Amino acid sequence: MNSLHLADGSEKPAEVKGRARLYSMVFCPFVMRIHHVLSLKQIPYDIVNINLQKKPQWFLQLNPVGKVPVYIDSDGTVVTESVTVANYLDEKYPEPPLYNDETKSRDLELIDHLSKIIDIITNVVYEKDKREFEEILIEIMDNLQKYENEFDIRKMTFFGGSNPGMLDILMWPWFDIGMALTLLHKQHASVERHKKRFPHMMVSNMTVEFIPRGDSFTKGSEKPAEVEGQARLYSMVYCPFAHRIRLVLSLKQVPHDIVNINLQSKPQWFLDIHPNGKVPIYIDSDGTIITDSVAVANYIDEKCPEPPLYNDETKSRDLELLDHFSKIMDTFANCIFGKDKRQFEEIITEVTDDLQEFEDELNVRKTTFFGGSNPNMLDVLIWPWFERAKALTILYKQRASLDKERFPHIMKWVDGMKDQPFVLKHKGSYEKFAKFVEAVRTGNVDYDNL
């Protein structure tokens, strides 16, 4: 699997007989559609990224139009254009089905209508639309109303029902990159004003809970076949330590697959890899095995140095703060697993006192993130606990929130992290995390159906 984007003058990577291939570009939403379909269908494939500004001649011979995605199936069939590729995959690999016979006609109609929204977003990204952002946003929202109304009629979380269907998948990449428009135009508040208009669409959130995970592998299951030359992350959807690595891999744009493990009934083959049975476990494309989330994150940062997640001037202090954050993590874990018998108010007081050091550090640095204008390793490694923090209010049935006057920099940091594309891509529900914890306490967890 090539993580670099191959340019004119490069040699075509050797094909693996019997394996599908996707010609891609990391930031292309049309390609992302196909990644999602392939992942959901659990189809093994390799990726070759193309430099679309300097296309290799061998790629143009394959597809004279020079666009991605180009999908080459394991039997050599070449398919282009994202909707065509997605439909081809759904027909050839029918499980799980991505269309429902009763709604397929309407779904195809809505997919066709989506092209209008895509054109608007494309014109904004390439600065072809000179209108005020608010005017553009209103047009997008007006076009989205059709989809909100459809949700209201179907009374489902997804257009596909309880799980995403083809329409959900083909739409999602534009929602996933939607926040980029607010960053380009610095108009986040403007978007927030429109959210109340779309209650059903706000509920429909295709995060890592649906893509790209498969079932959680349990005792007695067979080990999924490894893809030669591709990294793998052994994970568990609700684990904050595994979440750390999903974020790092996403930020670094490292191609990988994810295998989720049932930690209450671990497969023997997983214990053979790592006898203590914990996640994350990262197996690099060369077979190197790394365990422990901080060790994995540092390994990835060293091997894939762009973008760098440490600054030489602040690295020592960042590592010190990361070590201090372990106290907050321990308190959180003791609360989650019912080991801390203190009153909730006393626990919250301790956590906020421990957070003061981080507030003070942001005040000293005078930056939104610990990494400056962009998140760094410290930002990434502490984020999973902030994302899950509200679960405590559900578990303890008591309200709590940070004092905005005491923690103005932390509040700004949280808002900034929420908007990061790599965070949005792996965003989880704290409500679902609370359900997971409650299930763990009873000793009966269905990891895939919470």
Active site residues: 239
Contact between 50 and 38 under an 8 Å Cβ cutoff? The reply is no
Q: Residue 12: what residue type?
A: K
Contact between 340 and 331 under an 8 Å Cβ cutoff? The reply is yes
Q: Residue 383: what residue type?
A: W
Structure-token match 């009153």, residue found:
343
Alpha helices in 253-367 (DSSP H): 268-273, 293-303, 315-336, 344-365
Contact between 195 and 186 under an 8 Å Cβ cutoff? The reply is no
Give the β-pairing of 70-72 and 20-24: antiparallel
Sequence-distant (≥ 6) Cβ neighbours of residue 35 within 8 angstroms:
22, 24, 212
Alpha-carbon distance 125 to 180, whole Å?
A: 9
7-14 long-range contacts, Cβ below 8 Å, gap at least 24? 7/51, 7/54, 7/55, 7/56, 8/51, 8/54, 8/55, 8/56, 8/57, 9/56, 10/56, 11/58, 12/56, 12/58, 12/59, 13/48
| The residue count for the chain | 450
Other residues' Cβ atoms within 10 Å of the Cβ of residue 437: 20
Alpha-carbon distance 148 to 135, whole Å?
A: 20
Burial of 75 (0-12, 13-18, 19+ CB in 10 A): exposed
Contact between 235 and 290 under an 8 Å Cβ cutoff? The reply is no
- Structure tokens, 236: 């568990």
Alpha-carbon distance 399 to 401, whole Å?
A: 7
Contact between 168 and 161 under an 8 Å Cβ cutoff? The reply is no
Phi, psi torsion values for 181, nearest 5 degrees: -65, -40
